[in-house]
Structure 1
Amino acid sequence: MTSPYIPAEDSNGAQVRIAPMEPGDIPEAVAIQAQAYPASLQEDAPVFAARLALSPSFCFTARRAGAMAGYLIAHGWDRANPPAIGTLTRPAGASAVLYIHDLAIAPDARGLRLGERLVGCAFDAARASGLCEAELVAVEGAHGFWHRLGFREGHSPAIAAKLVSYGPDARWMRRDDLTAG
């Protein structure tokens, strides 16, 4: 398998590179977010910056022929405690899980498996940091993608209350073993 950090070519011969997200990447990421999500799920640049500052080693971008084609924002977090859209409060204790907050791919780059590569980078970084579980809230029908990556849905009244800001179709999902293929 090709390392996600090593440039590779997409099916059209354009070079694709996965790299850690930097603060200067935020405007492009916000633009991709606007193409991928309805207004109710969009967050502004300061929220992106806060999430990136929380755990920069878990955030990545995919660039195709130099232009951002996708990104992943993730951070360490409390177990079973998804933060509401647009908010960020640092957890009180040590992080228990990798929380994948946002994954978006530009419309013209969908189908290139960039999402899988970005998630793979986050899993690698989480394992290197001692985290072996991951959680997320799937929105906009993305639960099938996350199922294919080993995530399973979880349910509880406490989680259901936290999902309200994510919309009526939001699904809390978790993966218990980041070492499994």
Structure 2
Amino acid sequence: MSITTVREAHWPAILRLQDEAYSEIEPEPLQVLQSKWHQSPDLCFVYEDMQSQDIGAYLLAHAWHSPVPPKLYSPLPPASEGDCLFVHDLAVSPRYAGQGIGQKMMAQLMQRARAADFDHIRLVSVQDSSPFWAKMGFKSASQASVDDSYGPGAVLMTCALATQSVAA
């Protein structure tokens, strides 16, 4: 398996994984997901079996301009790039669960984020995933509200890159 940047040919598999991963929120349309990729293509990855070309996971992240997270189901607005790195989505197929793939993908993202001079990462934890993110150094941003589109129990979380590293 190998972590590579997203290519056009990966989108059918990404949509399939999105359907597998989310039970509490509706899947987002292709156009919405691709808006993240178009804004920050070097920050979007898949975990791919190089022999079978099976996609086992994906991560979509993008530069963002606001402390308020983008709404789900809407393409990124024009001129929304900023100094915050926002993790839009990390999904691992149940077939690949328990292999540390999410952690490996986040390690690669953090490495690229530091190289691009981001100093922090934000994300919205959904479907009770906060413990997973906390293991990687993310903390709840308790003062912030999250749009209802993220579903019940969604939590805005942040991680300072200067003090955090994730082992690959």
Question: Scaled by the length of structure 1, what TM-score is found?
Answer: 0.84
Equivalent in the alignment of 2:113: 126
Q: State the shift of 1:40 in Å.
A: 2.6
Q: 1:125 to 1:179 in 2, by over 3 A?
A: farther
Residue aligned with 1:40, SS: coil
Residue aligned with 1:140, SS: coil
Equivalent in the alignment of 1:108: 95
The correspondence for 2:19, drawn from 19, 23, 34, is 34
- Give the alignment's Cα RMSD to 1 decimal: 1.7
Asked if 1:146 corresponds to 2:133, the answer is: yes
Greater Cα radius of gyration, structure 1 or 2: 1
Q: State the shift of 1:45 in Å.
A: 1.1
Asked if 1:82 corresponds to 2:66, the answer is: no
Q: 1:32 to 1:138 in 2, by over 3 A?
A: same
Q: State the shift of 1:69 in Å.
A: 0.1
- Please give the alpha-carbon distance, in whole angstroms, between the structure 1 residues aligned to 2:68 and 2:129: 20
- Please give the alpha-carbon distance, in whole angstroms, between the structure 2 residues aligned to 1:147 and 1:19: 25
Q: State the shift of 1:78 in Å.
A: 2.0
- Please give the alpha-carbon distance, in whole angstroms, between the structure 2 residues aligned to 1:75 and 1:88: 12
Q: Deviations over 1:12-65 (max 9, x none)?
A: xxxx11101112211100100100002734111111211110100100000134
The correspondence for 1:176, drawn from 156, 160, 166, is 160
For 1:74, give the aligned amino acid: A
Q: Deviations over 1:77-130 (max 9, x none)?
A: 024220111113336465121100000001110001110111111111111111
- Please give the alpha-carbon distance, in whole angstroms, between the structure 2 residues aligned to 1:147 and 1:79: 22
Contact 1:23 1:49 in 2 (8 A): no
Contact 2:43 2:62 in 1 (8 A): yes
Give aligned pairs, total: 163
Unaligned ranges ≥5, structure 2: none
Contact 2:24 2:151 in 1 (8 A): no
Contact 1:70 1:103 in 2 (8 A): yes
- Please give the alpha-carbon distance, in whole angstroms, between the structure 2 residues aligned to 1:33 and 1:94: 24
Percent identity, aligned pairs only, is 28
For 1:32, give the aligned amino acid: L
Q: 1:39 to 1:46 in 2, by over 3 A?
A: farther
Q: 1:94 to 1:42 in 2, by over 3 A?
A: closer
